[in-house]
Amino acid sequence: MKPIHVGLLGFGTVGGGTFQVLARNQEEISRRAGRRIEVKAVCRRDLEAARALVGDSVNVVADPMAIVNDPDIDIVVELIGGESVAKDVVMAAIAAGKHVVTANKALLALHGNEVFAAAQAKGVMVAFEAAVAGGVPIIKTLRESLAGNRIEWVAGIINGTTNFILSEMRSKGLSFEVVLKEAQRLGYAEADPTFDVEGVDAAHKLTLLSSIAFGVPVQFDKAHVEGISQLQAVDIKYAEQLGYRIKLLGITRRRDELGGIELRVHPTLVPANRLIANVEGAMNAVMVQADAAGTTLYYGKGAGAEPTASSVVADLVDVTRLATADPDHRVPHLAFQPDQVQRIPVLPMSGVRSSYYLRLRVADETGVLSRITTILAENDISIDAVLQRESFEGERQTDLIILTHTTVEERMDRAQEFMQSLPSVLAPIARIRKEDLA
């Protein structure tokens, strides 16, 4: 049978890893796909560097449209990243009737509805396992393995850079700024780490997971996004004393009683005895709560040349297997049939239910705790635990740590405003949401 011909757009870390995995495991991959998958062309601005890697048997070009317009290319693999150029070449590939494999979470989080609609109309596939959690097969799991389940919630550590930073802050007691510099030195963080440390990258990925889990359009603009750049080492220490660890989690949850879903990324206290709380370093992990399967956890490397290439090649195998299938009987891009995708609203954060960690820097004087607990009670917020740092001799202020039971975010907003206005509260209140994930 004629081989499937692939064009790689972008031949950096992941593109090079994809080429190597295909070459190394060609026999195994062919047996699984039913036919050979061959890289016919690669696109990279540095032509000589690309030729040094692929040899003379593969065409090397600098213009991505040369691959899109090549009639011998069956599948276009987009590994350029970003939005503008990537969107143009993906839409052009679809218009040319070519299947697409991409690792571009930003492209799909922001323009996925348009991309998937175009692919559906043209009868081609867009596969994107590598766009979320690198080598962790969470897209296929949600879309296929859990297809018989009603998904209740998905929660994940889906950015390795922030998980590395939080792990180092906890284990070494260092500040965010110090660990960020180390992460950059080791190559875990970019020179401009904003997308990672401010939670944007995780929100791109969560947007896709939410769409697949609940059968809704991709709607990144509705996500609540908080990063870790303002997180203090002292809060990580106090959380540890209380039996919790702080992780940057992406959480999407079905809220039938409110007719919507939650879509949020933020630092979160997780009980230290939960498996996901013990995911350290640059690793990723995603938990899924489903009605039939129960709670499952998916763990692995979220980035890197070969882990991400593993997902790219798996998509190539899937597309190859399904290339001759009737388009109406392929696995839908977002798991649900296109005419069954629902416009379920994303809930505002004011309606989200959570429990909270509060750290208040207060004057060490009589009656402070009483005034604070009164404010919480007046807003129907009950207290789970209180920790007060012992003051040193002569010190006139201390840290007061409060864990609350579950409440509605707008109540906490109101209570925090009142507490912050007290003369005895001497600094901005630190607040972190808490999830049991059980």
Catalytic-labelled residue, pool 40, 87, 98, 205:
205
Which pLDDT score is estimated for 211? 97
The DSSP secondary structure of 1-39, one letter per residue, reads -PPEEEEEE--SHHHHHHHHHHHHTHHHHHHHHSS-EEE
Q: What 8-state DSSP symbol labels residue 238? A: H
- Cβ proximity of 298 and 275 under 8 Å: no
CATH class of residue range 353-434: alpha beta
> Which residue ranges does the chain devote to CATH 3.30.360.10?
138-301
> Which residue ranges does the chain devote to CATH 3.30.70.260?
353-434
Distances (CA, A) of 438 to 4, 123, 271, 314, 413: 44, 41, 10, 31, 25
Written as tens digits, the pLDDT of the chain (438 aa) is: 789 999 999 999 999 999 999 999 999 999 999 999 999 999 998 888 888 888 888 999 999 999 999 999 999 999 998 888 999 999 999 999 999 999 999 999 999 999 999 999 999 999 999 999 999 999 999 999 999 999 999 999 999 999 999 999 999 999 999 999 999 999 899 999 999 999 999 999 999 999 999 999 999 999 999 999 999 999 999 999 999 999 999 999 999 999 999 999 999 999 999 999 999 999 999 999 999 999 999 999 998 899 999 999 999 999 998 887 777 778 888 778 887 888 899 999 999 999 999 999 999 999 999 999 999 999 999 999 999 877 666 678 999 999 999 999 999 999 999 999 999 999 999 999 999 987
Q: What is the pTM of this model?
A: 0.94
Output the CA torsion 62→65→70→75 (10° steps): 100
Domain 138-301 in CATH 3.30.360.10? The answer is yes
Neighbours of 411 (CB within 10 A): 17
> Which residue ranges does the chain devote to CATH 3.40.50.720?
4-136+305-340
Domain covering 4-136+305-340 in this structure, CATH number: 3.40.50.720
Does the annotation count 205 as an active-site position?
yes
